[in-house]
Amino acid sequence: MIWVGLLLIGAGTSDLVFSWLRRPIVPEIVGALLVLTLALGCGLTSWASWACVLLVAGLVVVWGQLVGWGFGRHRPAVPLTAGALALATCIALAPVDGAVGGPVGDWLDASGLAWAAADVHLVVVLGVLL
């Protein structure tokens, strides 16, 4: 679930930055950097976790580039297909260890969402913030 959360937060952030700043590649870089920063804050330290984090950050950049290309050429199927494939990739990565800890995990534990696991906290709390 952490990989889906990081993908959605990175893609949402790049969309938000794009709505403010219409420069090439900058929104995607901001989204990817947020994915990397959140991964550090979540205490993802294993090699397998970082391989997944880098893959998710790359998916954010590719998706953002395809959104501009596809919608700019009136081909919405391209970014929608890319988004679906990115989401399917993150779901396929679910078995890879992605336990949330670190400062973000501590903050999420104190958030009052005791009914959900820490990775669900990340999706809910940060998704609401976006």
How high is the mean pLDDT of the chain? 84
User: Would the pLDDT of 114 be above 60?
Assistant: no
Structure tokens at 48: 């397998």
Residue 72: per-residue pLDDT: 82
Which of 57-61, 66-70, 79-83, 100-104 tops mean pLDDT?
Answer: 57-61
User: Would the pLDDT of 118 be above 80?
Assistant: no
**Considering the entire predicted model, what is its pTM?**
0.79
- Angle, to 10 degrees, between the axis of helix 26-41 and the axis of helix 102-109? 80
Residues 26-57 pLDDT 10s: 999 999 999 999 998 888 888 889 999 999 99
Residue 97: per-residue pLDDT: 72
Q: Where are the domains of the chain?
A: 2-129
Other CB atoms within a 10 A radius of the CB of residue 51 amount to 12
